[in-house]
Amino acid sequence: MSIVDEIQKDIFDYLDSHYGIERDEINSHSALNELGIDSLGLLAIADIVRKKYDIVLDDERIASVRTFQDFTDLLERKVAARESAIPAARATDPEAAAERDHVGTREGRELNRAES
């Protein structure tokens, strides 16, 4: 299971527990506002992603999300940017890269913000 798949599972769990939306009610073209998910709901999902996966989804990009596919695309871009930045950092500074690999470290959060 990819990290995006894991994040999507967490999002489905959140939507089920907080909005009563079951997985089979959602497809890639589902409009989030039609599912009853407002901007606060999107921010709550972004907070889950940040806390559990140390992936920061900035407010400006979250505001442009309209469908579940938009959210998935945003996640895929963020994960790809993070994964491509780590090998480059290791090549130039292996010790710093090792520190950034630790979820929740100051360096890891700074790297994640730089990717935004």
Which domains, from first to last, does the chain contain? Answer: 3-115 (1.10.1200.10)
What's the whole-model pTM score? 0.68
- Gap between the Cα atoms of 69 and 29, Å rounded: 6
Give first-to-last CA distance, the chain, whole Å.
24
Identify the residue with better confidence: 18 or 60.
Answer: 18
Q: Tell me which amino acid residue 52 is.
A: K
Burial of 68 (0-12, 13-18, 19+ CB in 10 A): buried
pLDDT, residue 1, reads 83
Check whether 5 has a pLDDT greater than 80. Answer: yes
Summarize the confidence of residues 33-37 as an average pLDDT.
93
% of the chain residues with pLDDT over 90: 53
